[in-house]
Structure 1
Amino acid sequence: MTTPKQDSPREQQRLNRLSLVLAAFCLLLPVLGLLAPKAVVPLSLIAGIVTAALVWPQKRPWQLVDRPLTLAVCLFIGWCLLASFWTPLPGEAAGLALRVGILLLIMIGLCGAAGLMGAEQSRKAGLALAVGLGLAVGLVLIEFAFGFPLFTVLKGPATSDYIAYSRLNRGITTIAILVWPLAVLFWQFGHRTVAFALPPAALALALSSQSSAAVLGLFAGLVAAALAGLGRSVGRLVLAAAVVLALVASPGVAKLMKEARLHEAEYLSNTARYRVHIWSFVSDRIVERPLIGWGFDSSGSIPTEGAESAGISRKVIPSHPHNGPLQILLELGAVGAVLTIAILYLIGRRIDHLPTAARVCSQGMCITILCIAATAYGLWQSHWLAVIGGAAVASVVVLPRSAAGRPQTAATTPPDPSQDAGAPRDS
């Protein structure tokens, strides 16, 4: 019988420092995601730089990162750079593509570094995530209970209740995403009732806010997680269908929503009706350049001659279509869609190999992110990409560790004697 290789004292000290960096990152991510979303980007950059200084003396970048995923991301960014040449402002578009690429590669590197931590280091970083998310939820409840005192100080008095609640939207969506790795953490600690209750509790919090995107994302994520709990085959099917249908069927769905006159439906909010109008217009433009799109970050410059007005003082399309799949098809065409599916396929493969609890929650988180991305933020907004990447880092941080101290996969996970013998097994 072989014994796990023991790290040298110097290597152990390096990993302890790494765990402090990642613990600080996990602690600050939900709080900044609520109070100062744009600050999540410098937080990610600082964590990436410090992590590189700690890890790279022993691990070269190509040894640390997931190489197939990194290659797929590089090909995607390469296409974004190429697609910058047929935009109205190629230089600005290319600069944005480079910034997006650097941020994505930093997040991949942080995920790789998180996988180096041992069980005790992972536990401490996971507890930091729990504290940070608890602080964020506590601040939201304070805002609700006392008339938004923090955001009144940070941004001045709100002119309406809608604006007061909408200031919390980015923080609510951050909580909606990060609650999934937190559920995995409580599962690892043996608090399974709490783990099951956390996503529904986050949904209840979202329902108290103005964030329809978070409500939709969490509801869909809960359904996806419940289905994924039936077995790996079901989980694969749900995730694959969500990804492919989002990128293939979204233009048709947008046209059907317009034909059903949802842009005039009084039971929908003004913002929801406006989105229906935007998505229908975008779907028409996608058909005009289906292969290579209109160019990276060109959404705000799409010609609108002859388009139906969206209403007084409203643009036909704002700076982005508030729908990630449509934005990819509009700006990057079918080529960009194929590269996106390749990236999500690789991520799905990694999720599929996780132990049951981590797999189910990660699939729930993926569906939550896809739903929010399909209804809310611009795809290239750095703070939004940083939150998604930060959630991926947190998901690696909370993974159970093997005897060697490294994240477990399904193949290395020991059987759970407490599991009901009649419960569905993974296929």
Structure 2
Amino acid sequence: MTRLEGLGSRVSSGAVLGAVLLAPLLAYLWPLGFAAIVALAGVVAVLGRLVPGARVEGPLAKPRLPGLRMSMFAPLAMLLLIVLFAVVSVNWSPAYEQFGPMATYQEAESQTWLKLPMQLGLYAAVVLATVRLGPLAARRGADWLVWGAAALSVLCLFEGLSGALLYQGLREMIGDPIRPDLAVKNVAQATYVLALMAWPAMAVLRDRERDRIALLVAAAALISPLLLKTWAPAAAFVAAGAAALIVRRAPIMGPRIVAGAAAGFMLLAPWLILMARPLLESVKANLGASWAARIDIYAFTAERIGERPLQGWGLDASRLFDPPVPLHPHDAALQVWLELGLAGSVLAAAFWALVFAGRSGKPGGASAVAAGSAYFIIGALSFGVWQEWWLALGALTAVWGGLAAREAAEDPDAMLIEA
């Protein structure tokens, strides 16, 4: 006998589906809000596990993706070790020397070392709740993923072609007008989100034989960032496509190849920068101001890493190197090396290796690896590692990849390849 989802299961499912539903709107209007919304979804998901009816019994439970839950635990364990080491590194971080890790409540409220453990717990709750979705909820989540990606694609293309005309009009309507160049910059943030959700959405659309909509999403993910004068999302989309192609050609070895490349970059980034510095300096004059500035940031950061390579400078130390490093190095591997040293880099490399290698031979492996690759590439070019909204987007990327994997696994024509 089958028992339908009880209250607890519906609450947990609602947390995931709510985050998926709101993602396109947040991407366009309030990217920083991802931190609050995903954290709230995590709270709701945890509460859902505490009330009766948190499990689904009978045949409805069977289609859940085999092995996906176990493949998530190892990366989460690595993240936990990274967070613990980051918290310990406060003891030698110059960012906390003057007052210690907690001078006042107001100061502690905004400090990274205190927020990271809470974020890990709440964001992980959302990811794990995705694995526990019943088949009907997973199907609905995939529906909202693809239609959200399609809507965001149309919006990004329109804003790119019009110079963020709609966004400017909305700001004028609420009595807060904005300069056209700043409007373009704000709207461009949405293309980062589109780059992350594009490959899982396209995988679901292809499974459903909606190739025209998949083509729309692909075109928007590639073209709209360029129209809005930002390169990182377009580069991430292309690199993610290459990763997806590798996995499609080699479902078992492909994810392991991507895993090795990601882990190698995390471990070798500072030394690669130092080795390539003469070449980078020779081409810097031919690059735009933003990329030329990145070369200077990367070179300065690599030199500082060489001064304290073992334990690093400590959590949040990047902030103290301004102006040569404005807030963070704009590269995840360099920031981890700078702040957490060799130990942090090894843990981060292990995390990415587990994320990608865990999809070896699994349904939906290509789209999941592509989504993770897009996040990895954007992290290598933009944003700070510890930014709350960016970490929340990492959790959502796992959710989108999980929904695409569920869709592939529950397709009667899909074959599970055992590694």
* Shorter-chain TM-score tier: 0.7 to 0.9
Of the three residues 305, 325, 328, the one matched with 1:286 is 305
Name which of structure 1's ranges 20-29 and 250-259 shifts more when overlaid on structure 2.
250-259
Q: Distance in 1 between matches of 2:280 and 2:81?
A: 39
Q: Distance in 2 between matches of 1:31 and 1:156?
A: 20
Structure 1 runs, 4 residues or longer, greater than 6 Å off: none
Describe the SS at the equivalent of 1:82. helix
Residues 95-139 of structure 1 show CA distances to partners (whole Å, capped at 9, x for unaligned) of 412312322222221121111222221111221222322332333
- Segments of structure 1 that go 5 or more residues without pairing to the other structure are 1-5, 305-314, 402-406, 418-424
Q: Distance in 2 between matches of 1:170 and 1:367?
A: 18
Taking a change above 3 Å as real, the CA distance of residues 237 and 197 of structure 1, as seen in their structure-2 partners, is farther
Note the C-alpha offset of 1:17: 4.3
Note the C-alpha offset of 1:218: 1.0
Residue 33 of structure 2 is aligned to residue 39 of structure 1: yes
Taking a change above 3 Å as real, the CA distance of residues 210 and 262 of structure 1, as seen in their structure-2 partners, is farther
Describe the SS at the equivalent of 2:386. coil
Residue 371 of structure 2 is aligned to residue 377 of structure 1: no
CA contact (8 A) 1:23 1:126 kept: no
Q: Distance in 2 between matches of 1:17 and 1:74?
A: 26
Per the alignment, residue 221 of structure 1 pairs with 240
CA contact (8 A) 1:51 1:113 kept: yes
Residue 293 of structure 2 is aligned to residue 274 of structure 1: yes
Aligned letter for 1:273? A
Aligned letter for 1:8? R
Note the C-alpha offset of 1:238: 2.9
Name which of structure 1's ranges 337-346 and 251-260 shifts more when overlaid on structure 2.
251-260
Describe the SS at the equivalent of 2:94. coil
Per the alignment, residue 325 of structure 2 pairs with 317
Per the alignment, residue 64 of structure 2 pairs with none
Name which of structure 1's ranges 325-334 and 252-261 shifts more when overlaid on structure 2.
252-261
Aligned letter for 1:335? A
Taking a change above 3 Å as real, the CA distance of residues 282 and 46 of structure 1, as seen in their structure-2 partners, is same
Name which of structure 1's ranges 84-93 and 125-134 shifts more when overlaid on structure 2.
84-93
Describe the SS at the equivalent of 2:264. helix
- Segments of structure 2 that go 5 or more residues without pairing to the other structure are 56-68
CA contact (8 A) 1:242 1:367 kept: no
Describe the SS at the equivalent of 1:260. helix
Residues 160-205 of structure 1 show CA distances to partners (whole Å, capped at 9, x for unaligned) of 64x4432223211110001122122213324357547743541122
Residues 347-372 of structure 1 show CA distances to partners (whole Å, capped at 9, x for unaligned) of 224322421xx101111122211111
Per the alignment, residue 110 of structure 1 pairs with 126
Q: Distance in 2 between matches of 1:55 and 1:319?
A: 38
Taking a change above 3 Å as real, the CA distance of residues 290 and 143 of structure 1, as seen in their structure-2 partners, is same
CA contact (8 A) 2:150 2:217 kept: no
Aligned letter for 1:35? L
Of the three residues 264, 270, 273, the one matched with 1:245 is 264
Describe the SS at the equivalent of 2:405. coil
Q: Distance in 2 between matches of 1:219 and 1:226?
A: 11
CA contact (8 A) 1:263 1:273 kept: no
> When the two structures are superposed, what TM-score results if normalisation uses the length of structure 2?
0.83
Per the alignment, residue 157 of structure 1 pairs with 178
Per the alignment, residue 55 of structure 1 pairs with 49
Of the three residues 69, 76, 86, the one matched with 1:70 is 76
Residues 268-316 of structure 1 show CA distances to partners (whole Å, capped at 9, x for unaligned) of 11010000001001111111111110001101214x8xxxxxxxxxx21
Per the alignment, residue 389 of structure 1 pairs with 395
Describe the SS at the equivalent of 1:318. coil
CA contact (8 A) 1:107 1:393 kept: no
Taking a change above 3 Å as real, the CA distance of residues 222 and 188 of structure 1, as seen in their structure-2 partners, is same
Of the three residues 98, 116, 120, the one matched with 1:100 is 116
Name which of structure 1's ranges 320-329 and 342-351 shifts more when overlaid on structure 2.
342-351
Of the three residues 339, 344, 352, the one matched with 1:336 is 344
Higher helix share: 2
CA contact (8 A) 1:83 1:296 kept: yes
Note the C-alpha offset of 1:415: 5.3
Give the percent of matched residue pairs that are identical in Structure 1 and Structure 2: 23
Of the three residues 81, 85, 93, the one matched with 2:87 is 81
